[in-house]
Amino acid sequence: MTSTIERGAATAAVPRRAPVKKAPTPKAPGGRRRGPAGLLGTTNGRKAVMAVSGAVLVLFLIGHMVGNLKIFLGAGAFNDYAAWLRTVGEPALPGRTLLTVTEVLLVAAVLLHMWSAVALARRASAARPVRYAARPRRRAGGYVARTMRYGGVIILLFVVWHLLDLTFGAVNPKGAAATPYDRMVAGFDPSRWWVTAFYVLAVAMVGLHLRHGLWSAFQTLGLVRGRARRTLSAVAAASAAVLVLGFVAVPVAVMIGVVK
Amino acid sequence: MNLTLKVWRQNGPDDRGRMVTYRVEDVSPDMSFLEMLDVLNERLILDGDDPIAFDHDCREGICGMCGMVINGVAHGEQRATTTCQLHMRHFADGATITIEPWRAAPFPVVKDLVVDRGAFDRIIQAGGFISVPAGSAPDAHSIPVKKEDADDAFDAATCIGCGACVAACPNGSASLFTAAKITHLGLLPQGQPERDARAVAMIEQMDAEGFGGCTNTGECTAVCPKGISLDTISRMNRDYLKAVK
Amino acid sequence: MKYTIGEPIRDGKAPGGPIEDRWDRRRFSARLVNPANKRKLTVIVVGTGLAGGSAAATLGELGYRVKSFCYQDSPRRAHSIAAQGGINAAKNYRGDGDSIHRLFYDTVKGGDFRARESNVHRLAQVSVNIIDQAVAQGVPFAREYGGLLDTRSFGGAQVSRTFYARGQTGQQLLLGAYQALERQIAAGTVEMHTRHEMLDLVVSGGRARGVIVRDLVSGEIETHLADAVVLATGGYGNVFFLSTNAKGCNTTAIWRAHRRGAYFGNPCYTQIHPTCIPVSGEYQSKLTLMSESLRNDGRVWVPVRAGDERAPGDIPEDERDYYLERLYPAFGNLVPRDIASRAAKNVCDEGRGVGPGGLGVYLDFADAIGRLGRAAVEKKYGNLFEMYERITGEDPYSRPMRIYPAVHYTMGGLWVDYDLQSTIPGLFVIGEANFSDHGANRLGASALMQGLADGYFVLPTTIGDYLADGPFGAVDQADVAEALGEVTGRIGRLLSVDGTRTADSYHRELGGLMWDLCGMERTEEGLRKALERIPELREEFWANVKVPGGEEGLNQALERAGRVADFFDLAELMCLDALHRTESCGGHFRAESQTEDGEALRDDANFAYVAAWEHGGDAGPVLHKEALDYEYVTMTQRSYK
Ligand SMILES: Cc1cc2nc3c(=O)[nH]c(=O)nc-3n(C[C@H](O)[C@H](O)[C@H](O)COP(=O)(O)OP(=O)(O)OC[C@H]3O[C@@H](n4cnc5c(N)ncnc54)[C@H](O)[C@@H]3O)c2cc1C
Ligand code: HEM
Ligand code: HEM
Ligand code: SF4
Ligand code: F3S
Ligand code: FES
As a whole number, the mean pLDDT across chain C is 95
Q: How many CA atoms lie within 13 A of C95 on its CB side?
A: 0
pLDDT over threshold 50, residue C444: yes
pLDDT bracket for residue A138 (50, 70, 90): low
Q: What's the pLDDT tens digit per position in A50-92?
A: 999 999 999 999 999 999 999 999 999 999 999 998 888 888 8
Lateral strand order in the sheet of C162-163: C87-88, C162-163, C151-152
**Residue B73: its pLDDT value, please?**
96
C438, C487: one domain: no
Nearest to C456 by CA among C192, C9, C128: C128
Domains delineated in chain A: 42-123+145-255 (1.20.1300.10)
- Taking an 8 Å cut-off on Cβ atoms, the answer to whether B129 and C553 are in contact is no
Residue C315 falls inside a structural domain = yes
Give the CA distances from residue C44 to residues C213, C225, C517, in Å, rounded to whole numbers and listed in that order: 12, 8, 37
Q: What's the pLDDT tens digit per position in C177-232?
A: 999 999 999 999 999 999 999 999 999 999 999 999 999 999 999 999 999 999 99
Residue C624 falls inside a structural domain = no
Mean pLDDT of C497-510: 97
Interface of B with A in 131-190 (CB under 8 A): 168-173
C81, C183: one domain: yes
C401, C424: one domain: no
Q: Searching chain A, which residue's CA lies closest to the CA of residue C282?
A: A1
**Residue A170: its pLDDT value, please?**
81
C459, C602: one domain: no
C231, C282: one domain: no
- Taking an 8 Å cut-off on Cβ atoms, the answer to whether B125 and C182 are in contact is yes
Mean pLDDT of A85-114: 90
Cis peptide bond prior to A91, omega within 30° of 0 = yes
C145 near A CB under 8 A:
no
Q: What's the pLDDT tens digit per position in B111-131?
A: 999 999 999 999 999 999 999
C535 backbone dihedrals φ, ψ, rounded to 5°: -60, -35
pLDDT over threshold 90, residue A187: no
**Residue A174: its pLDDT value, please?**
85
Contact present, A76 and A259 (Cβ < 8 Å): no
Ligand found nearest the CA of B62: 6
**Residue A22: its pLDDT value, please?**
52
Q: Name the helix (H) or strand (E) containing A41.
A: helix A35-41
pLDDT over threshold 90, residue C155: no
**Residue A35: its pLDDT value, please?**
46
C404, C415: one domain: no
SS3 assignment, position C200? strand
Using CA positions, which residue lies closest to atom 4 of ligand 4? B165
Residue C46 falls inside a structural domain = yes
Which range (A94-108, A134-148, C226-240, C626-640) has the least confidence?
A134-148
Domain B117-244 carries which CATH code? Answer: 1.10.1060.10
C337 is annotated as an active-site residue? yes
Give C108 or C337, the one with higher predicted confidence. C108
Distance from CA of B201 to the nearest CA of A (A): 6
- Rounded Cα distance between A123 and B105, Å, is 11
Return the amino acid letter for A58: V
Q: Searching chain C, which residue's CA lies closest to the CA of residue A24?
A: C186
Mean pLDDT of C146-169: 90
Q: Count of domains in chain C?
A: 3
SS3 assignment, position C125? helix
Extents of the domains making up chain B: 3-110, 117-244
Nearest to C405 by CA among C270, C524, C523: C270
Chains that touch C (3 or more CB pairs under 8 A): A, B
Which range (A144-148, C173-177, C187-191) has the least confidence?
A144-148
Q: What's the pLDDT tens digit per position in A117-136?
A: 999 999 999 999 999 999 76
Give A39 or C474, the one with higher predicted confidence. C474
Ligand found nearest the CA of A158: 3
Q: Residue C240: CB partners within 8 Å, gap ≥ 6?
A: C270, C407, C511, C514, C515, C519
pLDDT over threshold 50, residue A13: no
Q: From ligand 6's centre to the CA of C389, what distance in Å?
A: 17
Mean pLDDT of C148-172: 90
Give A7 or C363, the one with higher predicted confidence. C363
pLDDT over threshold 50, residue A9: no
% residues pLDDT > 90 (chain C): 89
Nearest to A142 by CA among A206, A205, A213, A202: A213
Contact present, A252 and A200 (Cβ < 8 Å): yes
SS3 assignment, position C409? strand
**Residue A137: its pLDDT value, please?**
67
**Residue A16: its pLDDT value, please?**
40
Which range (A35-39, B197-201, C410-414, C630-634) has the least confidence?
A35-39
- Rounded Cα distance between B185 and B194, Å, is 9
pLDDT bracket for residue C571 (50, 70, 90): very high
Q: What's the pLDDT tens digit per position in C136-148?
A: 999 999 999 999 9
Residue C151 falls inside a structural domain = no
- Rounded Cα distance between C72 and C293, Å, is 28
C119, C189: one domain: yes
What's domain B3-110's architecture? Roll (3.10)
Determine if ligand 3 sits within 6 Å of the CB of residue A79.
Answer: no
pLDDT over threshold 80, residue A18: no
Residue C278 falls inside a structural domain = yes
Q: Which residues of B touch C553 (CB under 8 A)?
A: 11-12, 111
- Taking an 8 Å cut-off on Cβ atoms, the answer to whether B218 and A142 are in contact is yes
- Rounded Cα distance between C546 and C543, Å, is 9
Residue C51: exposure state from Cβ atoms within 10 A (0-12, 13-18, ≥19) = buried
Q: What's the pLDDT tens digit per position in C351-387?
A: 999 998 899 999 999 999 999 999 999 988 888 898 8
Q: Which residues of B touch C275 (CB under 8 A)?
A: none
Pocket probe for ligand 5: among B73, B177, B207, B219, the residue whose CB has the most ligand atoms within 8 Å is B219
- Taking an 8 Å cut-off on Cβ atoms, the answer to whether A127 and B105 are in contact is yes
- Give the highest mean pLDDT range of A28-32, A135-139, C361-365: C361-365
**Residue A5: its pLDDT value, please?**
46
% residues pLDDT > 90 (chain B): 98
Domain boundary among C421, C441, C467: C467
Give C489 or A233, the one with higher predicted confidence. C489
Q: How many CA atoms lie within 13 A of C44 on its CB side?
A: 28
C374, C394: one domain: yes
C388, C427: one domain: no
**Residue B121: its pLDDT value, please?**
98
Q: Residue C388: CB partners within 8 Å, gap ≥ 6?
A: C277, C290, C394, C396, C401
Query: Looking at residue C318, which CATH number applies to its domain?
Result: 3.90.700.10
- Taking an 8 Å cut-off on Cβ atoms, the answer to whether B215 and A219 are in contact is no
ipTM above 0.90, yes or no: yes
C204, C182: one domain: yes
Best A2, A4, A5 member to test B by mutation, with max B CBs in 10 Å, is A5
Mean pLDDT of C435-463: 96
SS3 assignment, position C159? coil
**Residue A37: its pLDDT value, please?**
52
Which range (A27-31, A215-219, B105-109, B137-141) has the least confidence?
A27-31
For residue A145, which atom of ligand 2 is closest to its CA?
16
Pocket probe for ligand 2: among A43, A44, A47, A50, the residue whose CB has the most ligand atoms within 8 Å is A50
Low-confidence stretches of chain B (pLDDT beneath 70): none
**Residue A227: its pLDDT value, please?**
83
As a whole number, the mean pLDDT across chain A is 83
CB pairs under 8 A between A and C: 9
SS3 assignment, position A9? strand
Q: Name the helix (H) or strand (E) containing C190.
A: strand C190-193
pLDDT over threshold 90, residue A26: no
Query: Looking at residue C54, which CATH number applies to its domain?
Result: 3.50.50.60
Distance from CA of C187 to the nearest CA of A (A): 6
Q: Strands C190-193 and C196-204, how do they pair? A: unpaired
Mean pLDDT of C396-422: 96
Tell me which residue range forms the domain holding C371.
Answer: 273-408
Residue C489 falls inside a structural domain = yes
pLDDT over threshold 80, residue C42: yes
C334, C459: one domain: no
C292, C329: one domain: yes
**Residue A27: its pLDDT value, please?**
55
